[in-house]
Amino acid sequence: MEFIDPNVVDLSRFQFALTALYHFMFVPLTLGLTFMLAAMETVYVVTGRQIYKDMAQFWGKLFGINFAIGVATGITMEFEFGTNWSMYSHFFGDMFGTPLAIEGLMAFFMESTFVGLMFFGWDRLSKQAHLAITYLVALGSNLSALWILIANAGMNMPEGAHFDPETMRMQFESFVNLVFNPDAQAKFVHTSVAGYVSAAMFVMGISAFYLLRGQHRQFAARSFRMAALFGIISTVAVITLGDVLGRLDYEKQPTKIAAIEGLWHTSKPPFEPWILAALPDDAKQENHFEVGVPLVLTPLITHTFDQPITGMHELEDAAGPRIRAGIEAVSALRRYGVTHSDADLTLFTQHEQDMGYGLLAARHAPNQDVTNIPEDQIDAVVKATQPDILPNVFVTFWSFRFMVFLSLWFFALFAISAYVSLKRRLEHNKLLLKLCMWSIPLPILATEFGWITAEAGRQPWTVFGWLPTFLSASSHGVSYMVFSLIGFVLLYSVFIAAELYLMFKFARLGPEHDSMEPHAQLHAPKPSAFDMHPTAP
């Protein structure tokens, strides 16, 4: 096990988190907005009412501003696996690369090709053809998410691959298991629907802004109602699917679920409380205070009243023998690379399933070398490695809670908004409109917390149970990482400044054609899309 500077690993992780979280600010909105655009345009094509075309075009413009950065930052994500995670790419690329390439072939090509026609084809295509294009863009962006999450699910629950001592990597062996990985299915729906929530809140919030100002009232009221209804359905779906994911983690990633629930000791069903708030202390391995709701935890996670949930201390204890066996596996594997003897292969195969736990011990082995630990030090190495199997509990616990609390807030807000909007009493509810407006960034924040829960909760692994994160990085020097980090921070800061400037500008400007508001057109000069007239609203 050759040495990689731990600072480089940390900086690589930091860079990946930074770029992924940034990418994830724009993608969810894209996922949902494309479908909302398709819905608006459908109404236009079916009823022929101009206002719905105005809606599709106006929200389409905001979509475009958002989409550009989504694409740009997506390129970064694809590159980073190669530039910063070479060992991961080598170890898991056979399987991970496949869904990524299929994403390009099946989804991203379609989305990107037709998005051009969606913007430029209004006058060149029939209504129906343009509508079909809009649906293809929506389908493309959502299929894109599907394949990316299939790839991600492979990291969280590697199914459909096995480790091969000849090639020293995970060999892809089942396309069906890759695609129908239960984690992928649940996470895809959970994540894409979270994107619909973001889009619904975005449209609802900006519409609320117009209603508060008394501008574009017809346009805004329609957009608002559509978004509120879309939002309530999406929020229900997001919560339901989140529950499915929790159940899956209970089965396959017990360390993640224990950390999410701040559960240091195995639960005692059926009375175990669900911890509402606590201060988990990773160093002392305990919670400083707990406020819980009795009875809730067991049915919430296990969907039963009697199954226990394993706590972190018990998981640590159980990992001891696996680490010990893993050290044997890794040692045999290394010998096998030189000798190619059947004896070493047999020994490796015996402990193959624990190989990852052996690799995890590298950090605590003398000279970082698991394959050469003196007999009398093995116990100490195993003991030192045991706590490493746990993710950062504080981060996992709280990011999960922020996500959940926010989703409950969305549920309430969408439900009330839909009700008030259907009663047509929106404009009397200034407070509600303000809350909608100020909630625009919250679903994006919630999806970010969701990403942190899933990925921080997966630690210490890049490929769960097989490859530790600290071994996955490229063997760079710190200077390389500083160079790229500074570049990303500068570039992304410029991007976000430009994006926010344009978003605010065009949102304030409002729909350029507002067929329901002849008044506005009479008095104000019709703003061209690219000019900001000082007199424009």
Partner 1 sequence: MELYAILKIVWAVMLGVLFIGLGTMVGMDMGVGTLLRFVGRNDAERRTALNIIGPHWDGNQVWFILGGGAIFAAFPTLYGTSFSVFYVVMITLLFSMILRPVAFEYRSKADSKLWRASWDWVFLVSGFVPMFIYGAAFGNILEGVGYHFGWTGQYYQDESFLSYLLNPFAVLCGFMSVSLSIYQGGAMLMLRADNPIWARARHYAIAGGIFAAILFVAGGIWMQFLPGFVMTGPVNPAMPANPLHGQSVAIVAGGWMHNFRHHPALWLLPLMGVGCMLAGSAMLAAGRTVVAWWLGLGAWAGTITTVGCAMFPFLMPSSTVPNQSLTVWNSTASEYGLGCMLAVAAIFVPIILSYTSWCYYVMRGKVHTADVVNDTHSY
Q: Which of residues 443-482 bind partner 1 (CB under 8 A)?
A: 471, 474-476, 480
What span, in angstroms and rounded, lies between the C-alpha atoms of 447 and 460?
Answer: 22
Least distance to partner 1, CB of residue 162, Å: 10
What span, in angstroms and rounded, lies between the C-alpha atoms of 227 and 36?
Answer: 8
Beta carbon nearer to partner 1, 134 or 267:
134
Which residues make Cβ contacts (< 8 Å) with residue 295, sequence separation at least 6?
A: 270, 271, 272, 273
Binding mask 375-414 for partner 1 (x = CB under 8 A): ----------------------------------------
Check binding of 87 to partner 1 (CB under 8 A): yes
Check binding of 78 to partner 1 (CB under 8 A): yes
Which residue in this structure is represented by tokens 């993640």? Answer: 256
Q: How many CB atoms lie within 10 A of CB 436?
A: 28
Beta carbon nearer to partner 1, 441 or 477:
477
Least distance to partner 1, CB of residue 408, Å: 35
Check binding of 441 to partner 1 (CB under 8 A): no
Q: Which residues within the stretch 34-63 sit at the binding site for partner 1 (CB under 8 A)?
A: 57
**Closest of 233, 226, 251 to residue 302, by C-alpha:** 251
Beta carbon nearer to partner 1, 69 or 312:
69
Beta carbon nearer to partner 1, 224 or 357:
357
Beta carbon nearer to partner 1, 87 or 295:
87
Which residue of 18, 43, 121, 368 would you call a contact of partner 1, by CB under 8 A? 121
The SS3 call for residue 171 is strand
Give how far Cα 55 sits from Cα of 60, 195, 223, 516, Å: 8, 19, 7, 11
Least distance to partner 1, CB of residue 95, Å: 7
Least distance to partner 1, CB of residue 92, Å: 8
Which residue of 46, 105, 422, 489 would you call a contact of partner 1, by CB under 8 A? 105
Beta carbon nearer to partner 1, 89 or 207:
89
Which residues make Cβ contacts (< 8 Å) with residue 136, sequence separation at least 6?
A: 110, 111, 114
Beta carbon nearer to partner 1, 74 or 246:
74
Check binding of 292 to partner 1 (CB under 8 A): no
Least distance to partner 1, CB of residue 262, Å: 35
Question: Which tokens in the block code for residue 512?
Answer: 């350029």
Any idea what DSSP says for residue 305?
Answer: S
Total binding residues toward partner 1, as defined by CB under 8 A? 90
Contact by Cβ (8 Å): 269, 306: yes
Q: Which residues within the stretch 158-177 sit at the binding site for partner 1 (CB under 8 A)?
A: 164, 166-169, 171-173, 175
Which residues make Cβ contacts (< 8 Å) with residue 66, sequence separation at least 6?
A: 26, 29, 30, 33, 499, 503
Q: At what angle do helices 86-102 and 50-84 cross, to 10 degrees?
A: 150
Check binding of 134 to partner 1 (CB under 8 A): no
